[in-house]
Structure 1
Amino acid sequence: MTSNFSQPVLQLCYENLNGSCIKTPYSPGPQVILYAVFGFGTVLAVLGNLLVMTSVLYFKQLHSPTNFLIASLACADFLVGVTVMPFSMVRSVESCWYFGAKFCTFHTCCDAAFCYSSLFHLCCISIDRYIAVTDPLIYPFKFTVSVSGICICISWILPLVYSGAVFYTGVYDDGLENLVSALNCVGGCQIVVNQYWVLIDFLLFFIPTLVMVILYSKIFVVAKQQAIKIETSMGSSETESSSESYKARVARRERKAAKTLGATVVAFLISWLPYTIDTLIDAFMGFITPAYIYEICGWCAYYNSAMNPLIYALFYPWFRKAIKLILSGEILKGSSSTISVFSE
């Protein structure tokens, strides 16, 4: 009598190679949906941040210390969309790594470096906004283009050096040799980080985040006080001196910019906190997080690189106008870099 039950066929990432990882692919329907969702985020991260960089660097009216920081932040997010998200998309959907062990290390290094670069940029922007809101008239003399350039250099050099040193020396998995050996197979790119380096990673995330939260809390307190003071002074006197009127306009503009960039910080925290907390807990609980939870947290973090251009488009009229000029081909005309992109 022949049995009607058959053993499930075990799929491998590389069918003809010994030591290949086991492949656990999704069925065709979910595969298409996941590729569409991840692919959309990747395209948005690349094209959206490319538009941000082009807008700030091309239009001379946008050349300011804050906007240079924004353009550099967009560069970090753009590189996430180019060097990290497409390959993570294939790994997440196919459950296999087809790009080689060396590129796995490079991919992981880029992932960490650009994340920390984004975080350091946001921290510098929060300092910039704090000075701008608390002392708007002195701000242009305190936070110059040179200071912005120093912040940009620090926000790139430190993450790149740190990530390169950790992942190319192999110190991240010291003490986990047995686990790494058990997970090691052809077609895998699963980086396991020991408790020591996970704790350092968490502190590198937590300290700049704490600085941002404190500064933006102070910013909104000062902004509220300024708004009340301006309303009171305008209500108590019929006329307002030109210097007071200018100070009020500057303060109002800086508060608006602080709110927009505060939304960027909130989006970053919402995107990255689940992944950061999960990584910390997982390292101290024996790496028990299910693969799908890890993937969800990871892609929430990746999607942050696609969110910033949407925030700018929502809050910045100059960015919307710059996009129209770029997409319509106006920037191909002579002297278009001097076009006014501000509505006021």
Structure 2
Amino acid sequence: MPRPSQSRPYHVGPTESGQTLVSLLRRWQAGLSWSEAKQLLKGRRVSVNGAMCLDEGRRVKAGDVVHLHAHAKTPQPTAADVQLLYWDQDVVVVAKPPLMTTLRHREERNWPAARKNLQPTLDECLPKLLLASEGGGPDEDSRRHKPPRGHRARGRGHPAPAFAHGPRRRKLPAVRAVHRLDRDTSGVMVFARNETAERDLVQQFKAHSIDRVYQAVVHGHPVAQTISRRLIRDRGDGLRGGTDSPIDGEDAVTHVRPLEDLGEYSLVECQLETGRTHQIRIHLSDAGHLVCGDPLYHRRLNAATIEDRSGAPRLSLHAARLAFDHPRTKERIDFQLELPEDLERFVRSLVRRGRRRKHVPTDESE
């Protein structure tokens, strides 16, 4: 089977739009059989627009960027990788793993279950996790029992989940998304469990009364600052971007605070005053501090591409804190989540790299 020495991109053109990924792989890789093309997908060596693809039936559209990788990518996360932090009859708070999409795209919602299960989304995993965790019934909550890390755990003192007993199977509990995190972003999220809680939380997000704090590893050494720059849907190349126009786009405000010097890079904290799509990534990139591992905003409009040599395992962005008023009790509840293992290892590697650079011997004759 062909094995490129490095990741190779293929840009889908208008004449290729609507074709299956498998058929295009055979066109792009001379001599590739149908079975070999399918094996590339199963072997986690193909990504579309930065997201690993396992689906043999995936159809692409013009503008998509397909990468054929020399080596297998990180396995797709499953429900076992989702951690329930807190739940009750109104809300559920979770630690979203990286590389998992928050919601199923509209055009994918009617896919058969087997196809969805290849790459499950967070909103599909949560009902199963809640059902497995609520052994005491639908009113059970995490204030009385420590929540399990995944759907395979039973919880302390809980009977086996009802769905394990055939005819006694209970209906999956509903969850309602009130915000999103990018697929590659990890961190804390809240979902509503009923219509009343959904309305309340959506209103809090609209009023910007929810505290949202992120941590990011970025290029350079940003100073403490407030970035206030409006964002538009298309900056001219199909990507979202910032604008100096006082009337176009939407207001966007990000408060940035440096946390740690990592040699050529920095660990920073970003607090959102507004919550626009890709806000932190765009604001930091426009300020000259690309988020390490960002597959989109390393490209500048009408300017050179920012070269990212950081070695980031993925987009280095983590939702570290979320605080909101509980929809029923109105009590302020605050959740904080440390950097996940992959980003913690990345940060430590940058620290070691920075130390090595500081101790490189110099030639005193020069």
- With the shorter chain as reference, the TM-score category is under 0.3
Question: Which of structures 1 and 2 has the larger relative contact order (alpha carbons within 8 angstroms, sep 6+)?
Answer: 1
Structure with greater helix percent = 1
TM, length-normalised to structure 1: 0.24
Normalised to the residue count of structure 2, the TM-score between the two structures is: 0.23
Answer 1 or 2: which has greater strand percent.
2
Larger radius of gyration: 1
